[in-house]
């Protein structure tokens, strides 16, 4: 486990929306995607731009999405699906007694930089080859997620 630097939980969805608070007195921002996948992201100790590259490749190329007519699995790009990337530090937790401990998580400032980089790279990769759009959450903020699935299919991917 100590060598894992990036961890994803990927869930196929029919639609998903994320409400982001923007501080007191401001209306929350809502980001939405249609058919595609919700990707929860966590960076662990030792994560670097290399980790970002590997995760980008996995997110955009692994065949996780069911093609509607054939039922065949294709990548989210091949399916022209959307991607919603949500930072999720809790994925770095390990059970210790009755609690979760987060000692393996990367430093917050480093994690925020890597998350922003991942958002850029996934957006570039998806928009270069497909009509899908890529939306992102806000690192370290409370986010209200609603999602609808037609499966659901949940995958864990570690690099």
How many Cβ atoms are within 10 Å of 90's Cβ, its own excluded? Answer: 10
CB atoms within 10 A of CB 103: 10
Please report how close the Cβ of residue 157 comes to its own copies at its closest, in angstroms.
6
**Phi, psi (rounded to 5 degrees) for 25:** 80, -10
Tell me which residues in 134-153 interact with its own copies (CB under 8 A): 142-153
35 forms part of the interface with its own copies (CB under 8 A): no
Stretch that binds its own copies, among 23-31, 82-90, 114-122, 127-135 (CB under 8 A): 82-90
> How many other CB atoms are there within 10 angstroms of residue 159's CB atom?
18
20 is a contact residue toward its own copies (CB under 8 A): no
| Of 64 and 134, CB closest to its own copies | 64
List the x/- string, 89-128, binding to its own copies by CB under 8 A: -xx-x-x--xxx----------------------------
Are 76 and 64 spatial neighbours (Cβ–Cβ below 8 Å)? yes
* Cβ contact 8:58 at 8 Å: yes
Cβ distance to its own copies smaller for residue 31 or 153? 153
Assess 58 for contact with its own copies (CB under 8 A).
yes
The answer to whether 69 contacts its own copies (rule: CB under 8 A) is no
Distance CA 142, CA 17 (A): 14
Torsion sign (Cα): 148, 149, 154, 159: negative
**Residues that bind its own copies in the complex, under the rule CB under 8 A:** 7, 9, 40, 58, 61-64, 73, 75, 86, 88, 90-91, 93, 95, 98-100, 142-157
């Amino acid at each position: 486990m100590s060598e894992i630097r990036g961890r994803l939980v990927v869930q196929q969805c029919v639609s998903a929306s994320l409400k982001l608070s923007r501080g007191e007195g401001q209306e929350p921002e809502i980001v939405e995607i249609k058919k595609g996948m919700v990707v929860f992201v966590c960076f662990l100790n030792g994560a670097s731009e290399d980790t970002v590259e590997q995760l980008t490749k996995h997110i955009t190329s692994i065949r996780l999405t069911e093609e509607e007519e054939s039922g065949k699995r294709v990548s989210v790009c091949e399916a022209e699906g959307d991607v919603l990337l949500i930072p999720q530090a809790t994925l770095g937790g390990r059970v210790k007694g009755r609690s979760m401990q987060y000692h393996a998580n990367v430093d917050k400032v480093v994690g925020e930089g890597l998350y922003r980089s991942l958002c850029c790279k996934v957006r570039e990769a998806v928009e270069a080859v497909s009509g899908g759009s890529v939306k992102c959450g806000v690192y370290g903020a409370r986010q209200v997620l609603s999602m609808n699935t037609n499966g659901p299919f949940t995958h864990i991917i570690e690099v």
